Protein backbone atom coordinates (compact mmCIF):
# COMPACT_ATOMS: atom_id res chain seq x y z
CA UNK A 1 0.00 0.00 0.00
CA UNK A 2 2.77 2.43 0.83
CA UNK A 3 4.39 1.89 -2.58
CA UNK A 4 1.20 2.95 -4.34
CA UNK A 5 0.95 6.10 -2.22
CA UNK A 6 4.60 6.92 -2.82
CA UNK A 7 4.21 6.43 -6.59
CA UNK A 8 1.15 8.68 -6.63
CA UNK A 9 2.98 11.38 -4.68
CA UNK A 10 5.97 11.18 -7.03
CA UNK A 11 3.66 11.54 -10.01
CA UNK A 12 1.87 14.49 -8.40
CA UNK A 13 5.18 16.23 -7.58
CA UNK A 14 6.35 15.69 -11.15
CA UNK A 15 3.20 17.25 -12.61
CA UNK A 16 3.41 20.19 -10.22
CA UNK A 17 7.04 20.93 -11.10
CA UNK A 18 6.44 20.50 -14.84
CA UNK A 19 3.53 22.95 -14.67
CA UNK A 20 5.71 25.48 -12.85
CA UNK A 21 8.60 25.02 -15.32
CA UNK A 22 6.35 26.08 -18.19
CA UNK A 23 5.58 29.35 -16.38
CA UNK A 24 9.20 30.25 -15.53
CA UNK A 25 10.68 33.57 -16.68
CA UNK A 26 13.89 31.89 -17.80
CA UNK A 27 13.33 30.44 -21.30
CA UNK A 28 16.03 27.81 -20.73
CA UNK A 29 14.15 26.39 -17.74
CA UNK A 30 11.00 26.07 -19.83
CA UNK A 31 12.84 23.57 -22.04
CA UNK A 32 13.76 21.25 -19.19
CA UNK A 33 12.05 17.88 -18.84
CA UNK A 34 11.43 16.21 -15.50
CA UNK A 35 12.63 12.65 -16.10
CA UNK A 36 11.81 11.18 -12.69
CA UNK A 37 11.17 11.90 -9.02
CA UNK A 38 12.67 9.85 -6.19
CA UNK A 39 10.78 10.38 -2.95
CA UNK A 40 12.37 9.27 0.31
CA UNK A 41 10.55 6.65 2.37
CA UNK A 42 9.47 9.26 4.93
CA UNK A 43 8.33 11.59 2.06
CA UNK A 44 10.34 14.50 3.44
CA UNK A 45 12.86 14.64 0.60
CA UNK A 46 12.27 14.51 -3.14
CA UNK A 47 15.07 14.24 -5.69
CA UNK A 48 13.94 15.84 -8.93
CA UNK A 49 15.84 14.63 -11.99
CA UNK A 50 15.73 16.92 -15.00
CA UNK A 51 17.14 16.72 -18.50
CA UNK A 52 17.54 18.98 -21.48
CA UNK A 53 18.20 18.30 -25.14
CA UNK A 54 21.23 20.57 -24.89
CA UNK A 55 24.42 18.51 -24.59
CA UNK A 56 26.82 21.31 -23.71
CA UNK A 57 28.46 20.76 -20.32
CA UNK A 58 28.72 24.44 -19.40
CA UNK A 59 25.03 24.72 -20.18
CA UNK A 60 24.20 22.01 -17.68
CA UNK A 61 25.83 23.95 -14.84
CA UNK A 62 23.99 27.13 -15.79
CA UNK A 63 20.65 25.32 -15.88
CA UNK A 64 21.24 23.72 -12.50
CA UNK A 65 22.21 27.09 -11.01
CA UNK A 66 19.01 28.63 -12.39
CA UNK A 67 16.97 25.76 -10.95
CA UNK A 68 18.64 26.23 -7.59
CA UNK A 69 17.73 29.92 -7.59
CA UNK A 70 14.12 29.11 -8.52
CA UNK A 71 13.72 26.22 -6.07
CA UNK A 72 11.76 28.42 -3.63
CA UNK A 73 9.06 28.97 -6.25
CA UNK A 74 8.78 25.24 -6.84
CA UNK A 75 8.58 24.61 -3.09
CA UNK A 76 5.83 27.21 -2.64
CA UNK A 77 3.81 25.83 -5.56
CA UNK A 78 4.11 22.30 -4.24
CA UNK A 79 3.09 23.38 -0.73
CA UNK A 80 0.01 25.10 -2.16
CA UNK A 81 -0.90 22.07 -4.31
CA UNK A 82 -0.40 19.21 -1.87
CA UNK A 83 -2.07 18.67 1.48
CA UNK A 84 0.50 16.86 3.59
CA UNK A 85 1.86 17.40 7.05
CA UNK A 86 5.29 18.11 5.55
CA UNK A 87 5.96 19.31 2.05
CA UNK A 88 8.92 17.37 0.63
CA UNK A 89 12.15 19.32 0.36
CA UNK A 90 13.15 19.41 -3.31
CA UNK A 91 16.67 18.84 -4.58
CA UNK A 92 17.40 19.06 -8.30
CA UNK A 93 19.76 16.75 -10.16
CA UNK A 94 20.73 16.64 -13.83
CA UNK A 95 19.86 13.32 -15.50
CA UNK A 96 22.40 12.46 -18.19
CA UNK A 97 20.68 9.15 -18.99
CA UNK A 98 18.26 10.77 -21.43
CA UNK A 99 21.06 12.31 -23.48
CA UNK A 100 23.10 9.11 -23.41
CA UNK A 101 20.09 7.13 -24.57
CA UNK A 102 19.56 9.52 -27.46
CA UNK A 103 23.23 9.21 -28.42
CA UNK A 104 23.02 5.40 -28.41
CA UNK A 105 19.96 5.49 -30.68
CA UNK A 106 21.79 7.85 -33.07
CA UNK A 107 24.82 5.54 -33.16
CA UNK A 108 22.66 2.48 -33.82
CA UNK A 109 20.84 4.29 -36.62
CA UNK A 110 24.15 5.29 -38.18
CA UNK A 111 25.45 1.71 -37.96
CA UNK A 112 22.29 0.43 -39.60
CA UNK A 113 22.64 2.95 -42.45
CA UNK A 114 26.27 1.95 -42.99
CA UNK A 115 25.29 -1.73 -42.98
CA UNK A 116 22.60 -1.09 -45.59
CA UNK A 117 25.11 0.81 -47.78
CA UNK A 118 27.56 -2.09 -47.58
CA UNK A 119 24.85 -4.59 -48.54
CA UNK A 120 23.91 -2.38 -51.49
CA UNK A 121 27.54 -2.32 -52.72
CA UNK A 122 27.80 -6.13 -52.74
Residue 1 confidence (pLDDT): 42
- Spans of all domains in the chain: 2-95
Q: Across-strand partners of 48?
A: 37, 92
Work out the number of other CB atoms within 10 angstroms of the CB of residue 35: 16
- Kindly tell me the burial class for residue 37, based on how many C-beta atoms sit within 10 Å of its own C-beta (0-12, 13-18, 19 or more): buried
Architecture per CATH, 2-95: 2-Layer Sandwich (3.30)
pLDDT at 38: 94
pLDDT digits (tens, 9 = 90+) for 16-66: 999 999 888 887 788 888 999 999 998 899 999 998 866 566 678 888 888
Between the alpha carbon of residue 12 and those of residues 8, 60, 72, the distances in Å are 6, 25, 18
Using DSSP, state whether 27 is helix, strand or coil.
helix
Q: What is the pLDDT of residue 15?
A: 93
pLDDT digit string (tens) for 71-116?
Answer: 888 999 888 888 878 889 999 998 877 667 777 888 888 888 888 8
Amino acid sequence: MKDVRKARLESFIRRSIEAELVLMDDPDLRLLTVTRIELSNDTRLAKVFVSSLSTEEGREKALMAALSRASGKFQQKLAADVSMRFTPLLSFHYDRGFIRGTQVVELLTELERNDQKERGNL
